[in-house]
Amino acid sequence: MISRSRRNVLKLALLAGAVPMLGGVARQALAGDRPYAPAASDWRKFQTRTVITLPEGPGPAQVWLPVPSVDSDYQRSLDDSWTGNATSAELVTDKSGAKFLHASFENGGAPHLELVSTVQTRNRTIDWTKESAFKEDPAILKAALQPSGYKPLDGVVAETAAKITKGAETDVDRVRLIYNWIVEHCYRNMDTPGCGPGDNVATLTTAGLGGKCADLNGLFVGLARASGVPARDVFGVRVAPSAFGYKQLGANSATITGAQHCRAEVYLTGYGWVAMDPADVLKVMRAETETWIKDPDDPLVKQVNGALFGNWEGNWVAYNTAEDLHLPGRAAVLPFMMYPQANVGDQIVNELDAKAFTYEITAAEA
C-alpha cells in the first residue's frame, strides 16, 4: 500500500444545488433576468478526487493522472495526495511545468489508485479600458508562438490565419477577428469523442470546421500563433455549475468524469494573458436548448459571446498548458493531458472509455 499526503485529506461533499435542466423558454427568461457577466470574485476552494481501477491482469500496468499545476491570478494549486496499491508512485513535472502523478503496478492483480487535489479558483476578468504593466518572460512568449504536433503554423493553418486577419493593425484586432471567425464558421460536433483530438489541419479540412473544445479552442490558438500572437490552450475540468444558469457552462453534478474542458488564452501587450473561450460559445449555440441556435446574435448567445472574449467563470480547474508530452514509461507522444492515462502491458488503455478503464472523478467545494 502506498500513501503520500502533504496534509490530511478532507472528506468530499456533494456539490449543492445542481442547476435544473431548463427548457428553451425558461432559459430565455433566465438569460434576460441574469445576464452572463463574470465579475471579479472571491477565491473558492475545491477538491477533486480521481479513483482509478484497472482490469485485473497478470502483467505490469502504469497510470498517469493530470494534476492541477497552474498558479496564477485566477488559480492556486494547493495540495495533492494519493493512496493505492501501486508498486511505486511519484509526482512528475514535465519540462513545460505540467504535473502528473505516475504510478506503476508490477505485481499484477487489479491496480487501484486514488488522487485528491485541492485548488482555489476565482473568476477571470478584464477591463479593456485599462492597460497593465505586466511583462511576461520572453522565453514563455516564444514557446507560445511555436508549432506543435497538432498545431502546424504553415500550410492551411497559415493560409486561413492570413485571410482572417487581413487588414488588422493590432494584436487585439487580430484576436478579435479570429475569435469571431471561429464563432461564425465553426460548430460543436456532438458526435466527436471526448474533447476532440485538437488537430488543426483536420478541423480545417476533413472535419469540416466541426469538433469540440480541444478542436475549436485549439484552432483558435493555432490561428493566433500563425498570426504572430502568443497563445496557448489551458487544459482542465469543470468543477461546479455556472453561476448564471447555463447548463452547458458548468458541471451540474458532483461526478465530473466527463466534464473535461480546455480553454484558451492569448498574450496581448498592455493586458498580459487574456482569457478566451469561443468553444463554449459554440457549445451554448449547439446544446443549451433543444434547438440548435445558429445565430451568434441570438439573445441567449450574444451575452456569452461577448463575455468569453476576455473573461471566464472560476467554476473550472486548470491542469496545465502542455502539448506534445513525453510520459515516462510510454513511447507514444501525448498531444495534451486532460484525461487519465494508462497502459496495461504495452497496450494503451482508451482514456475516453471510463467504464472499461475504470475511473471516476468527483468534485466538491471545500
> pLDDT tens digit string along 92-103?
999 889 999 999
Beta bridge partner(s), residue 93: 99
* Over residues 94-116, mean pLDDT: 92
pLDDT for the residue numbered 14: 31
CB atoms within 10 A of CB 1: 7
pLDDT for the residue numbered 10: 33
- The yes-or-no verdict on residue 251 having pLDDT over 70 is yes
- The yes-or-no verdict on residue 17 having pLDDT over 90 is no
> pLDDT tens digit string along 50-63?
999 988 877 799 99
Task: Tell me the pLDDT of the chain averaged across its residues.
Answer: 91
> pLDDT tens digit string along 124-146?
999 999 998 899 999 999 999 99
- The yes-or-no verdict on residue 32 having pLDDT over 50 is no
pLDDT for the residue numbered 35: 85
Cα(76)–Cα(314) distance, integer angstroms: 11
Question: Would you place residue 248 in the very low, low, confident or very high pLDDT band (cuts 50, 70, 90)?
Answer: very high
Please check whether residue 91 is in contact with residue 67, taking contact to mean a CB–CB distance below 8 angstroms: yes
What angle, rounded to 10 degrees, do the helices at 155-165 and 171-185 form?
110
Percent of the residues in the chain that have a pLDDT greater than 90, as a whole number: 83
Cα(352)–Cα(354) distance, integer angstroms: 6
* Over residues 93-121, mean pLDDT: 93
The 3 state secondary structure assigned to the chain is CEEEECCCCCCCCCCCCCCCCCCHHHHHHHHHHCCCCCCCCCCEEEEEEEEEECCCECCCEEEEEEECCCCCCCEEEEEEEEEECCCEEEEEECCCCCEEEEEEECCCECCEEEEEEEEEECCECCCCCCCCCCCCCHHHHHHCCCCECCECCCHHHHHHHHHHHCCCCCHHHHHHHHHHHHHHHCEECCCCCCCCCCCHHHHHCCCCCEECHHHHHHHHHHHHHHCCCCEEEEEEEECCCCCCCCHHHCCCCCECCCCEEEEEEEEECCCEEEEECHHHHHHHHHHCCCCCCCCCCCHHHHHHHHHCEECECCCEEEEECCCCECCCCCCCCECCCCCCEEEECCEECCCCCHHHHCEEEEEEEC
Q: Measure the CA dihedral 47/257/314/19, to 10°.
A: -110
